[in-house]
Amino acid sequence: MSRLAAFERRVPAVLLARRNLARTRLRSGLAALGILIGVFAVATLGIFGTVLELSATNELGGIGNQVIVSPNADSGLETLTSRDVQAVERVAEGRGEVVPLKTDGTVVRSGGDSTFAQLYGLGRPRALFEAESGTLPETHRQGAIVGREVAARLDLQVGSVLEIESNRYRVIAVLAESDSISPIRPDNAVVLPPEVFVQPSFDQVVVQADSGADAQAIAAGVDERLNARERRVSVFELGSVLERINEFFALLNGFLIGLAAVSLVVAGVSIFNVMLMSVNERRAEIGVLRAVGVHRREVLSMLVVEAGLLGVVGGFLGVVLSALVTLGLWAFVDQIALDVILVPRNGLTLLGAFAFGVVVSLLSGAYPAWKAASERPVDALRS
């Protein structure tokens, strides 16, 4: 005896419900198809929203650890003093690396060609940049580090010589292309030691924190320490950009799931209609069952189980189809990584969509079942 047969023997309502559904296969199949489509829509749109959110977070995640401290122009300040930098270093101690920065714009010449470039003066380039060729020094004391676009326009490579305001510098490294949205853009920049700048003060301080939580703590600490009496500095924590992006995706995800849930409710109406028609057609049969002693609760259970079976079958197939489509997305779209698909949230989305489909089915079948079970056997047999 199979496990299903053994289960149906212990719970006769399941056996009766399955046989009743088999008698009207087409009608039952269409009702289950409605649940399948609804569960598929809810699960797939929910997973797509999660995949979009996690993919965007992975692409932009690195900037969430940066804090940019700039002088507050509204207070008439244009630069940061050494005391400001020291205050930032004390706040960030043990939580990240502080990189004071001098900025300017300049014309860069090499081999008869020239181009305009952003000029950065900083002593610890490794904290902010990566090298495509050459080696970034731990402490930048001599030579020039050029961005990828500057190197391409002037045909520069490691060992080449460039000229800035009559001063000649040898290229020690070419920076890798940057795709972040950080205000520090190295592609069109030349990085020099801060000592070559005439100005003694700094234009910005960039803090590369160890984590997003450290970045938030540093931003709050710098704001409390430097802006206690007057607003001397502007503190921009790039993690706040990620929070806005995540909020947008959460809103979009909720909207898509809500839209898909409407289709599931429509499928529930279909099941309600199927169960109502089935009950009307079987009034005499139900009347006989009640007349020979079948309890009202057993009739109610049989009809509710019928609605539940439609929900279970449709929901299961909808979940399987949604999982296959999601795996197809990973297989055919290069930008989608497997680690943003195999996350617990997507599993919960599949489970929630399945449960929602079953609940909608049970609710849709509850009223027809109650109506049939409540009818007196005499009235049912007269119909």
- Per-residue confidence (pLDDT) for residue 320, from 0 to 100: 93
pLDDT classification of 2: cutoffs 50, 70, 90: low
Give the model confidence (pLDDT) of 7-45 as tens digits.
666 666 777 777 777 777 887 888 788 888 888 888 888
- Per-residue confidence (pLDDT) for residue 1, from 0 to 100: 55
Distance CA 375, CA 289 (A): 12
DSSP letters, 212-229, are HHHHHHHHHHHHHHHSSS
Q: Of 303 and 147, which is predicted with more confidence?
A: 147
Q: How far is CA 84 from the centre of its chain?
A: 37
- C-alpha distance from residue 363 to each of 30, 271, 307 (Å): 18, 9, 8
Residues in the chain: 383
Give the model confidence (pLDDT) of 240-266 as tens digits.
777 777 788 778 878 877 777 777 777
Residue 25: strand, helix, or coil: helix
Give the model confidence (pLDDT) of 43-60 as tens digits.
888 888 888 878 777 766
Which long-range CB contacts under 8 A does 373-377 form with residues at least 24 apart?
A: 373/286, 373/296, 373/297, 373/299, 373/300, 373/303, 374/296, 375/283, 375/286, 375/287, 376/290, 377/287, 377/288, 377/290, 377/291
- Per-residue confidence (pLDDT) for residue 180, from 0 to 100: 64
- Per-residue confidence (pLDDT) for residue 171, from 0 to 100: 93
pLDDT at 239 over 60: yes
Mean pLDDT of the chain: 82
